[in-house]
Amino acid sequence: MELTLPPGRSDAQFQAALRAFEGVVGAEWVFDTDLDRTTYSDIYAVGPETAHPPSAAVAPASVEEVQAIVRLANQHRIPLWPISRGKNLGYGTAAPRLAGSVVLDLGRMRRILEVNPDLGYCVVEPGVSYFDLYEHIQANQIPLMLSVPGNAWGSVLGNALERGIGYTPMGNHTRQLCGMEVVMPDGDLVRTGMGAMDGNHAWHCFPYAFGPGLDQLFCQSNLGIVTKAGLWLMPEAETQLALSMQASEEDDIAWIVDTIAPLKRAGVISQNQFVSSWLGRLVLMGQRSDFYDGPGAIPEPRVRELLRQHDLGFWYVNIRLYGDDRITRAQADVIKEAFARHTRSTFVEEPWRKGDPFLAVDPSFGAPSAVPLAMGAWTGGRGAHLGFSPVVPPTSAHVMRQFRRSRQRIAEHDLDFYASFTIGDRHANNMNMLMFDRDDPAQIAKVRRAFDALIADAREAGYGEYRTHLDWMDPVARTFDYNDHAQMRLFERIKDALDPNGIVAPGKQGVWPAAYREHRA
């Protein structure tokens, strides 16, 4: 990828900044060739990856090096885009929101600083991947369990900072963060919560501390660069019990949600409960062309035929219970009774005991896997996906309003429909996956139009997204419009106060520093 300079910088000024960065990290950790820029581009871009071009990347190995780079970035007026492992597929991958930013790649900071088996937490640097932490826990026989996202290719910290979700009882990843260390935009180093007291023993045990809580200020944020954080982990389950079921009709999601959500609030179901539509199963069985070869969405009669052939319902419910099997058996009885009020279908029950082989295709199991990425191959060509993910209260009324509207919109745009609801105690993340071939401009145009429409009419109905791709950060931010966008005005006052040169991740989540505000879409 050709060089796009940071806004307002000449080539000489840019080169001077890179030489200064090299003075901190060494020339081998500053990446500025065309190939390097391509490496840090958005491989799932909804259009050409040149829409969000990095100018270079720099990879510090320590907190001190991060601080030094940040100070130099201020002097040289170079915007930085921090990433942990940069596998944020569907949201921008490693690419920056503002063209010409330098990617600050924290992947070399890869130490697992602590895993506390008694209290159930770990302290990790940004570069620690789910696979790293899983292997460390297995190798040391630590009786703790991970919660992994669908694609566990990225980092533990980056996913929690982005409010990624997993499917275990600890699946609300951002809620497990407890106590951070953050390099501020001026290079200062802050520890949040109890960690603000040097040597405090409860840094990663008590998230609220003394005074305002700051951990969430650094999530989906451009107010600091997180260099380590505590994250709570769940005690390892000696046994697990999976209950799975197909529900044949699309409207079944109404009673499924009304059945699961109260069981969750009552603690009978503890996991972040994933319910997905049939395409989530089919993408793991082959490519689209194996099932249907037409250009538009798979027609309804063919869908019905496929569901019959592959013994699938419209929805797949997979409940996993963890821990002592005297308790999980009792929980299973309560769940079965609740489901039996709505369906004659019965659950398939799969017990698992420690030592049994692990189930790579099921993220609720707790082992990292990249199997769900197979969906990238669905369309053929250079396959990619984009997730439309509004949050709704977990009641049938809200879920059906959201589901019917997005299903109709996606059908209108002639795209395959793949939805899931991940049900928490008092919210559900409704993920709608739009899959496309990056080499097919007509498909890309359809996906973009569909995405714009989905955002607009979800807003109209009173729902907003929890996360989005770089291209839609400004439009989604604009839907949070109470009192003339008072929250965004507050965000930007804070941004300007903490980051007067606007060097940390300008434009992230629609928050623009004064220096680059004219770049808002």
> Which residues contact ligand ADP by CB under 6 A?
82-88, 106, 126, 154-155, 157-159, 161-162, 225-226, 505, 508
Tokens 């062309």 sit on residue: 289
Annotated active-site residue in 130, 316, 418, 466: 466
Instruction: Let me know if 326 is a catalytic residue.
Output: no
Instruction: Let me know if 466 is a catalytic residue.
Output: yes
**In angstroms, rounded to a whole number, what is the distance separating the alpha carbons of residues 286 and 288?**
7
Tokens 């951070």 sit on residue: 180
Helix (H) or strand (E) holding 397: helix 396-412
Task: Tell me whether residue 6 or residue 158 sits nearer to ligand ADP (CB atom).
Answer: 158
Annotated active-site residue in 9, 191, 409, 467: 467
Task: Tell me whether residue 42 or residue 250 sits nearer to ligand ADP (CB atom).
Answer: 42
Distances (CA, A) of 203 to 145, 177, 192: 21, 11, 8
Helix (H, G, I), strand (E, B) or coil at 114: strand
498 phi/psi in degrees, rounded to 5:
-85, -25
Annotated active-site residue in 91, 121, 167, 322: 91
Task: Tell me whether residue 495 or residue 508 sits nearer to ligand ADP (CB atom).
Answer: 508
What the block records as the tokens of 361 is 């295709």
Task: Tell me whether residue 161 or residue 261 sits nearer to ligand ADP (CB atom).
Answer: 161
CB of 242 within 8 A of CB of 350?
Answer: yes
Instruction: Let me know if 110 is a catalytic residue.
Output: no
Task: Tell me whether residue 159 or residue 468 sits nearer to ligand ADP (CB atom).
Answer: 159
Instruction: Tell me the H-state helices in 266-324.
Output: 279-282, 288-291, 300-309
Task: Tell me whether residue 87 or residue 398 sits nearer to ligand ADP (CB atom).
Answer: 87
**In angstroms, rounded to a whole number, what is the distance separating the alpha carbons of residues 233 and 322?**
14
What the block records as the tokens of 144 is 């703790």
At closest approach, how far in Å is the CB of 445 from ligand ADP? Answer: 26
187 phi/psi in degrees, rounded to 5:
95, -5
Residue partners of 321: CB distance under 8 A and separation at least 6:
240, 241, 242, 243, 269, 270, 271, 327, 328, 331, 332
Burial of residue 45 (number of CB atoms within 10 Å: 0-12, 13-18, 19+): buried
What the block records as the tokens of 397 is 């009324």
**In angstroms, rounded to a whole number, what is the distance separating the alpha carbons of residues 399 and 219?**
26
Buried b (16+ CB within 10 A) or exposed e, 433-471: bbbbbbebeebbebbbebbebbbeebbeeebbbbbbbbb
At closest approach, how far in Å is the CB of 166 from ligand ADP? Answer: 12
At closest approach, how far in Å is the CB of 79 from ligand ADP? Answer: 12
At closest approach, how far in Å is the CB of 82 from ligand ADP? Answer: 4
At closest approach, how far in Å is the CB of 433 from ligand ADP? Answer: 18
At closest approach, how far in Å is the CB of 256 from ligand ADP? Answer: 29
At closest approach, how far in Å is the CB of 60 from ligand ADP? Answer: 11
**Residue 157 half-sphere exposure, CB side, CA atoms within 13 Å?**
33
List strands edge to edge, sheet with 177-183.
Answer: 112-116, 121-124, 225-232, 177-183, 189-191
At closest approach, how far in Å is the CB of 23 from ligand ADP? Answer: 23
At closest approach, how far in Å is the CB of 431 from ligand ADP? Answer: 16
Query: Nearest to ligand ADP by Cβ — which residue?
Result: 154
Q: Tell me 267's DSSP state.
A: T
**Given 3-state DSSP classes, what are the helix, strand and coil percentages for the chain, each rounded to the nearest 5?**
40, 20, 40
Q: Which residues are catalytic?
A: 91, 466-467
